[in-house]
Structure 1
Amino acid sequence: MSDFTHEHDKVWDLVDDITICMFITHDGQRHRARPMAAYVRRDEHAIYFLTNAESAKAHQTERDHDVTLAFADKGHNDYLTISGPARVSNDRDKIRDLFNAFAQASWQSADDPDIRLITVTPEEAEYWDSPGGPVALVKMMAAAATNRRPDLGDNEKVNL
């Protein structure tokens, strides 16, 4: 397996595993972040989000298409950012396809006319994959004892 494939697989695997991210937009003056459920469709090279039509994130995304998604799994010391363009649509078929119990906490049904779809097309990613708690501590202690830098995992920038 090439590094290219491995890096891409790592990015998509992290997104699949973590599922909740901070969705970051720009309001014209500042960056704004809020937690959102990510609906990952690797075969479509897309990450989808459901939102209200009149939400700030929908309006901000319509004005400035560049967004960042920040994923964190603190329990496994896995972190990932994804950047790319996003667009807001009223694709009712895709909304129905994605609608699940999590979405039902916000809307009664997929046919709610207030639901909008945000589609993010990932272009760039960066991930940090580090060993967890006790392993990291042992590596840091060993590095300090030998005057070497500890191997604290992988950090890669990936063009998607």
Structure 2
Amino acid sequence: MSETTREEAIKIMAGIVKDVKFAMLTTTTAEGHLHARPMTTQEKEYDGDLWFIGAKDTEAVADMRARPQVNVSFSNPDKGTYLSVNGTAELLEDRAKLDELWSDFYKAYFPQGKEDPNIQLIKINASGAEFWESDGKVRSLFQMAKGLIKGEQPDMGKNDTVKL
């Protein structure tokens, strides 16, 4: 673990999250298997909590209700940024928060709009995270090639693990 403060980590994480449209949310199934699903990243500033809108009748929500430990991963290979957040899922009913997060994009999943009784707010209370930052694909490829030629460990950018 590094010297990165919580505030510094949240700022770095916010920079990664804002550029990723879809995250992968991993739950544990009743059989004990890990199952990852794409979730739409909310268009709001990351402040330490992750929010998603899901459906009450899905396996993912059932998994979180029974086993709330989850992981959410973000990837932007073009920018060379990656983030893995572990935490606890909380299933909430909060009309004000739904109003804040809602966009017409969700009508494809919830035809009745915000009034759809199947809507489930999912809040991920982060416990810890690991992030990777590099200068992007070209620099990373150059560093890997240089490492192979010289037989040295390539400089792939910044990697840090933080407790939140």
Q: Under TM normalisation by the shorter chain, which class is it?
A: 0.7 to 0.9
The structure 2 residue matched to 1:25, chosen from 27, 36, 39, is 27
- Note the residue ranges of structure 2 that are not aligned, 5 or more in a row: none
Provide the secondary structure at the position in 2 that maps to 1:93.
helix
Higher relative contact order (Cα pairs below 8 Å, separated by 6+ residues): 2
Structure 2 CA distance for partners of 1:98 and 1:8, relative to 1, 3 Å: closer
Provide the secondary structure at the position in 2 that maps to 1:96.
helix
Q: Does residue 61 of structure 2 align to residue 61 of structure 1? A: no
Provide the secondary structure at the position in 2 that maps to 1:42.
coil
Look up the equivalent residue of 1:34 and give its one-letter code.
Answer: R
Please tell me whether the aligned partners of residues 135 and 157 of structure 2 are also in contact (alpha carbons under 8 angstroms). Answer: yes
Please tell me whether the aligned partners of residues 91 and 116 of structure 1 are also in contact (alpha carbons under 8 angstroms). Answer: no
Q: Percent identity?
A: 25
Provide the secondary structure at the position in 2 that maps to 1:75.
coil
Q: Does residue 94 of structure 2 align to residue 91 of structure 1? A: yes
The structure 2 residue matched to 1:115, chosen from 119, 129, 137, is 119
Look up the equivalent residue of 1:49 and give its one-letter code.
Answer: F
Query: What corresponds to 2:15 in structure 1?
Result: 13
Root-mean-square deviation (CA, aligned residues, Å) is: 1.9
Query: What corresponds to 1:156 in structure 2?
Result: 160
Give TM-score, length-normalised by structure 2: 0.86
Structure 2 CA distance for partners of 1:41 and 1:57, relative to 1, 3 Å: farther
Provide the secondary structure at the position in 2 that maps to 1:127.
strand
Shift of 1:149: 2.0
Look up the equivalent residue of 2:18 and give its one-letter code.
Answer: D
Judge which range, 49-58 or 13-22, deviates more.
Answer: 13-22
Provide the secondary structure at the position in 1 that maps to 2:131.
strand
Structure 2 CA distance for partners of 1:147 and 1:27, relative to 1, 3 Å: closer
Structure 2 CA distance for partners of 1:133 and 1:15, relative to 1, 3 Å: closer
- Note the residue ranges of structure 1 that are not aligned, 5 or more in a row: none
Look up the equivalent residue of 1:111 and give its one-letter code.
Answer: E
Look up the equivalent residue of 1:149 and give its one-letter code.
Answer: Q
Query: What corresponds to 1:129 in structure 2?
Result: 133
Aligned residues: 158
Judge which range, 140-149 or 4-13, deviates more.
Answer: 140-149
Please tell me whether the aligned partners of residues 12 and 42 of structure 1 are also in contact (alpha carbons under 8 angstroms). Answer: yes
